[in-house]
Amino acid sequence: MSDDQPLLLFDVDGVLLKEDGYYRTLALTCAQFYRRRCGELGIAVHESLAGRVSTLAEVDELKRVFLPTPVLSLLRARAINSNWDKTYAIVLGLLALTQEDLTSTTIPAALIRHLGAVAGQGQAYLQALRQIGESHAKLFQDVYEVFQQIHLGPWSGVDFLAQGMLAHDEATVDAAALRSLLASLRERGCCLGIGTGRPRLEVEVPFRGMGFWSFFDEKRVVTVDEVRARERERGLAPFALAKPHPFTYQTGADGVPLEQVYVIGDSMSDALAAEAAGYHFIGVGGDADFAATLRPSFAVVSDVLALWELLG
């Protein structure tokens, strides 16, 4: 890219692609660990959670139990960005519930109560949850493996998950309108990159399918794969460099002057990472979503298509 070319670094989930697929995967994963916990305690699974799902609508019913809006808002406010971390936090919450809560319809309220009682942000918050909820070091890996199996497929005996939940990904706005926006930004002289907690495969597959991939400079695409590789190289704990750490965006913007870098994200962790790196930040959502981190130099748009008017 040229010396005076603006660099736009996009988060993916909630900005370019809907998070519905990940949230549905989260709900199915939490249901698996809920049933496992009930088995460990020798108690009956609540009748509303006992059946094996066969449709997306049934998955959405599980989502209302394990990821009600207040729980999602709470985790976002704690700068929990990775969907694996969100799932892990909720599983830790489930492990802290009483038998009475586990066998009643109060699971959502109980999760809010337990998850909300812990302070901190990012990995510090998860560490605090671990101290009250679970001591087994392998739990995160177990959560990760179940999540990935459901998300990438095939999930045994569930026809609509033959290719995983990834096959149901959708753009946050009309795909043709989004392709037009990306093409216009490129024509206007912007370089486009990505900074995401998704693995590269889970970006490239839906982006190629929707015709987005060619608009991005692959040298400016940073995923969780690059984050984990650097952590291993430095001997750091897993996700030590994940957002809200600025590493993801700093790697994508390597060599670009601070004033030319714009981060476009939908979460507190994106805003915190941009602020730590000294970049411009454009939030996708509402002012309330970024109230704790809004700065005079930050902007908020209702959806990604509003970027054209803002940047124009």
Torsion of CA 28, 15, 200, 216, to 10 degrees: 160
Query: How far apart are the two ends of the chain, measured CA to CA in Å?
Result: 20
State residue 138's pLDDT score. Answer: 85
Angstrom distance (rounded) from CA 36 to CA 30: 10
How many other CB atoms are found less than 10 A from the CB of residue 48?
Answer: 11
State residue 307's pLDDT score. Answer: 92
State residue 2's pLDDT score. Answer: 62
Label residue 305 exposed, middle or buried (CB < 10 Å: 0-12, 13-18, 19+): middle
State residue 84's pLDDT score. Answer: 92
Torsion of CA 55, 57, 62, 66, to 10 degrees: 130
State residue 221's pLDDT score. Answer: 98
Question: Which residues are CB-neighbours of 8 under 8 A, at least 6 positions away?
Answer: 185, 190, 191, 192, 193, 262, 264, 307
CA 207-209-213 angle, to 5 degrees, is 35
State residue 54's pLDDT score. Answer: 87
The per-residue DSSP string of 83-107 comes to: HHHHHHHHHHHHHTS-HHHHTSS-H
pTM for the full model?
0.82
Q: What CATH number was assigned to the domain covering residues 7-18+171-311?
A: 3.40.50.1000
Q: Which pLDDT tens digit goes with each residue over 269-299?
A: 899 999 999 999 999 987 666 665 556 557 8
pLDDT < 70 positions in the chain: 1-3, 132-137, 287-297, 312
Name the residue ranges covered by the structural domains of the chain. Answer: 7-18+171-311, 20-167
State residue 18's pLDDT score. Answer: 94
Q: Which pLDDT tens digit goes with each residue over 208-254?
A: 999 999 999 999 999 999 999 999 999 998 889 999 999 999 999 99
State residue 238's pLDDT score. Answer: 84
Residue count of the chain: 312
Question: Which residues are CB-neighbours of 69 under 8 A, at least 6 positions away?
Answer: none
Distances (CA, A) of 245 to 130, 150, 168, 200, 300: 20, 28, 30, 19, 21
Structure tokens at 67: 């990821």
